[in-house]
Every structure is written in structure tokens, then in C-alpha cells.
Amino acid sequence: MKITGYRSLSTVHDWGRITGDVNGVQIGNTTPVPVLIIETDSGLEGVGLGAHGDIARIFPAIDGEDPRAVVALYDRMLDWVFKAGHSGSTFGTIGAIDMALWDLKAKAADEPLWRTLGARERFVPGYASGLEYGLTDEELAELYGRFADRGFKAGKLKGGRDLERDLPRLEILRDALSRNSRHPALMFDVNESWNHAQAARYVGAIEERLDLTWVEEPLRRWDAAGMAALRGKIRAAIASGENLTGLEQYRPLLDANAVDVVQVGNVWGITHFLRVATLAHGHDLPVSPVAFNTNPVAHAAAAVPNLLTFEVQDLSFPLGLDVDQQLDDGGIVLGDRPGLGIIVDESIVTRAGAVVAPPATGPHVRPERAALRLVAEPDVIDDPTIPLRPVS
């Protein structure tokens, strides 16, 4: 079996709500979902998800190769770009290709990827994470009530700007999940929006009223010294790592004992996750993948010994993607369809339109005054002059 080409497609995910975090909220209810199809001379095709803007530059590294040599091809892709560096969009492209190659490897074996990777069980424990920063309190309660209906007993709230707003919302999250646990796990994600002093004060104030399981990305992703010092000032665990691209970026954090939960982004691929999980396991640390559409890394998460929990952001899947997964019993139940279990209806995906350029504001754009605010300042949530949704 040889790799012969690729197709780059696009669809959308309709959340049925606005999504965002302390850095900003999305405009409208849909977000783009890039889809990469790797073609072979056998007729089998591999599906990868995530932005892959550097595909034309990186594809020659795998063209004509046997996709079943996926680990060797992963390193070959890294070697292909070593002078320019492999971070950012390049690493995302490698991750999307890597997913597609693993999909092909499992399809060639006619088995689901979780079994190819050696997992014993198909169930992946998870936590609810609705990206709910832009929702009202009533919408927040309804959203996490639907997660509770699926058995979830752990959840994560976005926040970090206004304690008076965040505290009651954490209590809403706790109350929604309490039907499944006397003490649901509560996580709090601030998306790198604090400095060290802000983090210590803010978490300390929350912990006077609530028991946090972890605080996520309290400081900049590379601040090993800051997170190590913060660990001694708060009770909650520190989770970070979703935006790190390569083992070399994790080593300083682990060497400094800066994190308690090692996170990995789905968009960086299967091989990257497996390597980070092994590195974390060597430090006796648990690993937790950060979600992306269709949860592709869940197959690999089922196979590692140090999985803590898997982020689940929604209870539906992108338009035109039929995914062999069930979200139930507080986690992900993987199916038996070969590979990643994703079938792409290209007639529907084609109608979804092309990926548009990201907006100048929103959760993926760091605000100018992040970590430099002395007081809670108005933002799109508490300033009624700034609309959350497009004005018709």
C-alpha cells in the first residue's frame, strides 16, 4: 500500500450556542472544521482533522510511502522541516497527517484504532467542558444538565476576569453535576490570562468557597518557574500543555515540577499524544487530552496507562461526519468501525463551504491587556453595548 495523494476539505460544527473563553467569544454558533483525506493506491483512505495549512510543503515527505509505517513517517515529517522548525501551523499539519496515517493503519488491519494501539477497554472516562463563557447562567445550567443526563460527574468552567461572576457559575456547574456524584470534580480554565500574583489571589479566593480539582493554564504556557511556585500556594492541581508542540516544550515544565496534570491537544496528532503520555508516565504524572471535533485522540487515550480524563466539549459531531462513538456514562464509548471510525459524506462537507480566515477577536486571540488588569474590566459579557451575537 502506497500513499498517492490527498484532499483538503472543510465542514463546520454547529454548537447550538456561542462558544468562547475569557479571551473572547466566537461570532455565531458554528466553527470551521478542516478535514484532510490521505489517498492510497489500495483504495483505502485515511481521515485526519485539524488545520493543515502547510500540507503542500509536508506532503512530499510521505508521498509514495507505506502509511503503515506511521511512526517512522512522523519523524520523517519532523525531519523534513527541521531548519524552519516544526511548531505552530506546521505541527498542526503534521498532526492532521498523523491522524490520517493511523486511521489507515487500523483500517488496513480491519480493526478500530483503539484495538490496534493495544487498548483493553473501549471506554474513555471524560469530563464536560462546554466552552460556555458567553452563556447566561440559565443557559449554563441547561448545558451542563444535558451533560449530566449522559452521566458526567466532572466539568470545567471558563473564567478568570470577574470573581463575582465566576463563583456562582462554578456553583451552577457543581449543582448540575451533583446528580451523578456527591462531590463532582470542578475544573477552572483561565486560558493563560493571569500573572503569578493574580493567579494566587484568584484561586485562593475560589478555594475559600469551593474545592477545585485543577486550575488550567493559570500562567503562560512556558512559565515553568511561575507554575512551580504557584503549586505551593494553592490546593488545586495545575493542568497545562494543550498548546505545547513537541517533547522539548514539555521537558522544562516537567523538570521544574510545574504541573500536576499533563495536557495534550488532539489537533497535534496520535503519535505526539503517545509520546507525551510516555514522558508524563516517566514522571508519575497523569495525562489528559484537550478535546477537538470527533475526539480522535480518544483511541490513543484508551491505550495509555496514565490517562486521567478526556475533555468532551459537545454532545454532537460536525456536519457530514458520521462518527462511531457514543457519549455516555460520563465518557466516550468507542465503537468497532475500523480506524478512527469516521465516515465523511463529501457531498455534505462540500456544501459546508470553505474555511474562512479567523476573526480578529475571539478565544484564539490574546487580548492586549491580558494579565495586566488591576480590576475586573468590562468585556463582551458584562458590557451591554458589546453584542455577543451578530446584530441582524
Residue 49, in any domain of the structure = yes
Both 101 and 215 in a single domain? no
The reply to whether 146 falls in a domain is yes
CA-angle at 361, arms to 357 and 362, nearest 5°: 95
Asked if pLDDT for residue 379 goes beyond 70, the answer is no
Report if residue 373 sits inside a domain: no
pTM for the model stands at: 0.93
Instruction: Give the cell for residue 275.
Output: 509520546
Instruction: Residue 227: give its domain's CATH number.
Output: 3.20.20.120
Q: How do residues 319-353 score in pLDDT, each as one tens digit? A: 999 999 999 999 999 999 999 999 999 998 876 55
218 and 78 in a common domain? no
Mean pLDDT of 26-47: 95
112-145: pLDDT as tens digits: 999 999 999 999 999 999 999 999 999 999 999 9
| Alpha helices (H) along 162-259 | 163-177, 196-207, 224-231, 247-255
* HSE value, Cβ hemisphere, 13 Å, CA-based, for 258: 24
Q: Which CATH number do you get for residue 32?
A: 3.30.390.10
Does residue 310 lie in a domain region? yes
3-state SS class at 80: helix
Percent of the chain topping pLDDT 90: 85
Provide the residue range defining the domain that includes 177.
115-344
Rounded to whole angstroms, the Cα distance separating 6 from 328 reads: 34
Hey, what long-range contacts does 301-306 have (CB within 8 A, 24 or more apart)? 301/124, 301/273, 302/114, 302/117, 302/119, 302/121, 302/122, 302/123, 302/124, 302/334, 303/114, 303/117, 303/118, 303/119, 303/274, 304/274, 304/277, 304/278, 305/281, 306/277, 306/280, 306/281
Considering the domain architecture, whether residues 94 and 141 belong to the same structural domain is answered as no
Asked whether residue 386 is domain-assigned, the answer is no
* The domain boundary residue, chosen from 89, 113, 137: 113
Instruction: Label residue 113 left, alpha or beta by phi (over 0 means left) and psi (-120 to 50 means alpha).
Output: alpha
How do residues 142-178 score in pLDDT, each as one tens digit?
999 999 999 999 999 999 999 999 999 999 999 999 9
Q: Which residue is listed with cell 463563583?
A: 167
pLDDT band at 359 (very low <50, low <70, confident <90, very high): low
Residue 305's pLDDT is 98
User: Looking at the structure, do residues 249 and 279 belong to the same domain, yes or no?
Assistant: yes
CB-based contact 11:319 (threshold 8 Å): yes
Number of structural domains found in the chain: 2
Residues 136 and 227 in one domain: yes
Is there a single domain that holds both residue 226 and residue 304?
yes
Residue 83 — very low, low, confident or very high, per pLDDT cuts 50/70/90? confident
Choosing from 113, 144, 169, the residue where a domain stops is: 113
Contacts of 111 (CB under 8 A, 6+ apart): 338
Work out the mean pLDDT of the chain and round it to a whole number. 93
316 and 273, same structural domain? yes
| Residue 240 within a domain | yes
Picking from 79, 113, 147, the residue at the C-terminal end of a domain is: 113
Q: Is residue 29 part of a domain?
A: yes
Judge if 181 and 254 occupy the same domain. yes
Residues 140, 66: one domain? no
Residue 365: inside a domain = no
- The answer on pLDDT for 376 being more than 90 is no
